[in-house]
Structure 1
Amino acid sequence: MKSVYKNSVWELVPKPKDRKLVGCKWVFRKKEGLHEQDAVRFKARLMAKGYSQKEGVDYDEIFSPVVKHTSIRLLLAMATQHDMEIEQMDVKTTFLHGDLDETIFMAQLEGFVEYGKENLVCQLRKSLYGLKQSPRQWYKRFDYFMLKINFRRCLYDCCVYYHVFQDGMIILLLLYVDDMLIACQDKSRIQDLKKMLSEEFDMKDLGAAQKILGMEIQRDKTAGRIWISQTKYIQKVLEKFNMQEAKVVSTPLAAYFKLSGQQCPKSEEEQQVMEKVPYANAVGCLMYAMVCTRPDIAQAISVVSRYMANQGKQHWDAVKWILRYLNFGDKGLCLRSKKKMQGCWDMWMLIMQGT
């Protein structure tokens, strides 16, 4: 509520007769730390019931970009090669910074109805969690600020910002909603950018990058390596599908899996049995691991994903085989520094400048 009042999210006004109110509710959750010894934080968030919004009345455009995973890996690779510092920041109450273009009225929230003003409603000035346009409004607000401080936006990934100093040094910032990665060879210039961001937004400095989007980052500067893995995420996936104790296998997909459409359910009874299997959910979890740090399961995922609409028992057995494979050791991506790779840096600059 302090964040709500600090950002002047709404003002109380009489309820318009011709407008329907958007509801709101409290959402409570526990947020775990990166390490087991980190204390669990209890968070409360005020959410607008965006499902009651009407297109053309309460919102128009809702698309908002996020940084590509390939951009994150490329940044880490270039940081390894050129010994760049990588720092991480997080925006507190992110969506409360976005300015609304539409006029939206919301009911006063439970437990915080102002005495003597029970008949008034909240006219939103800022975006709020749950509104359909909130991610877009936040991105527009952040993009405006970055361009104002003389950063340029990458033409191939509009969530990658960079600035080239007069001495030729470059500083990079990657944005995924409220998570930021900042990289530069000079740490003092990173600190200067952090200071500017903190003056504009309510920020949290997370120090050296350790985890982003479920990807754990470990760095050995002496050896010139960065290791990216998803150990914690994969463990949660295995526990979700009760596969953490299953016998491990050493291949992504066994040769005897000859999957085809002939193995799809042929009777109504088989169909009803397979409807209870969380096939699409499991494949989706595996796809995220594949996109981030596990390209070794790409071919296996391409096979099992063909039967998302009508999977059979053999198809589900193949998915469980992939889950068993993920439990085979702690694997990930290792980015190494190599000599005579100036061409990669030149290519990165060409991509950034769109030439």
Structure 2
Amino acid sequence: MQDMELRRSKRARRSTLPDFYVYLQEPEHDILGKDDPENFKQAIMGEDNERWLAAMKSKLESMRKNGVWELKVLPQGCKPIGCKWVYKTKRDSKGAIDRYKAKLVAKGYTQQEGIDYTKTFSPVSTKDSWRVIMALVAHFDLHLYQMDVKIAFLNGHLKEEIYMQQPEENVLDSCIYVKISRRHYVLLVLYMDDILLASTNLTLLHGVKVFLSKHFEMTDLGEASYVLGIEISRDRKRGLLGLSQKGCIEKILKRFNMMECVGGDVPINKGDKFSREQVTKTDQEKLEMADKPYASLVGSLMYA
């Protein structure tokens, strides 16, 4: 497989981001993620403390095996960066808990751009590319499996390197890999720590899985059925592949108490304008809108 060019962020730094930007940039976002522990104390004091402790031990063991850090005496004049645990409950397409994940992350917001770092990047394929792959899977009846990188960010190297850019106007997705072996091929779609493998041949696909597992600690999730909050259903005899966000939509409706709402083609009519005259004024209006924060609600719709 060919090496990919890393997609680097060129966004200007801001102190805060609107809710809808956070929704769009977080591939693993769970509408009900508010139930996850927000800090270490909540994790060890909650009813699932044993599971969260196991997840944290697993992460620390992965760091030890990968030689991520060494214990040192802080040199004089150096300012250490803080860290924190981030907890995530992974769920399947039915909403049942699949596994518990814990990540130890640095508090990067204490760093200064141009001094402590220059650019940030994350390997994320575009949704358009993802849909093209799904269309190819349906059309050519490809085998479709998925894998998860347990420690995606621990495999990055911080040593400075220079990457050559592709010629201008050469449209490509740097997170799509292709391996060709005679008349068979494997397509690999990378989205952070989620990997989709589509192939014309199971033997070739298995070889790629073995190759990845030798170089990275992987979890084989079997045939793809639920990826990025999207449920995948197939009828291979009829050459059909369906994509559904029903579970995501139901979580959005449940969160904003709109399970009994009336369906519509679009949330608002094109050309509608909002003004300060439409904001809540009475106590009753404020009570009715208390559980419908505008930015989060719009962000949820945009993510779906």
TM-score normalized by the length of structure 1? 0.59
Structure 2 residue corresponding to 1:177, chosen from 192, 196, 205: 192
SS at match of 2:158: coil
Tell me the residue number matched to 1:42. 100
Tell me the residue number matched to 2:182. 166
Provide Cα deviations, 1:181-234, integer angstroms capped at 9, x if missing partner.
Answer: 111110110000000000000011111111111111011111211110011111
Structure 2 residue corresponding to 1:83, chosen from 141, 148, 153: 141
2:289 matches 1:278: no
> 1:163, 1:171 within 8 Å by CA — same for their partners in 2?
yes
Asked which structure has the greater RCO (Cα within 8 Å, sep 6+), the reply is 2
2:275 matches 1:264: yes
> 2:148, 2:220 within 8 Å by CA — same for their partners in 1?
yes
Tell me the residue number matched to 1:156. 172
> 2:145, 2:198 within 8 Å by CA — same for their partners in 1?
yes
CA–CA separation in structure 2 for the residues paired with 1:71 and 1:259: 31
Pick the structure with greater CA Rg: 1
Provide Cα deviations, 1:91-116, integer angstroms capped at 9, x if missing partner.
Answer: 002111112237xxxxxxxxxxxxxx
SS at match of 1:86: strand
CA–CA separation in structure 2 for the residues paired with 1:156 and 1:209: 24
CA–CA separation in structure 2 for the residues paired with 1:181 and 1:212: 9
What's the % identity of the aligned pairs? 40
Offset at 1:87? Answer: 1.1
CA–CA separation in structure 1 for the residues paired with 2:171 and 2:278: 52
Structure 1 residue corresponding to 2:224, chosen from 203, 209, 213: 209
CA–CA separation in structure 1 for the residues paired with 2:188 and 2:300: 28
CA RMSD of aligned residues (A): 2.9
* Structure 2 counterparts to residues 1-355 of structure 1, below 5 A: 1-35=60-94, 38-101=96-159, 156-167=172-183, 169-246=184-261, 248-249=262-263, 251-253=264-266, 260-261=272-273, 263-266=274-277, 278-289=293-304
- The structure-2 alpha-carbon separation of the partners of 1:236 and 1:163, relative to structure 1 and needing over 3 Å to count, comes to same
Unaligned 5+ segments in structure 1 are 103-136, 141-153, 290-355
How many pairs align? Answer: 234
Unaligned 5+ segments in structure 2 are 1-59, 164-169
Runs of 4+ in structure 1 over 4 Å off: 267-277
TM-score normalized by the length of structure 2? 0.69
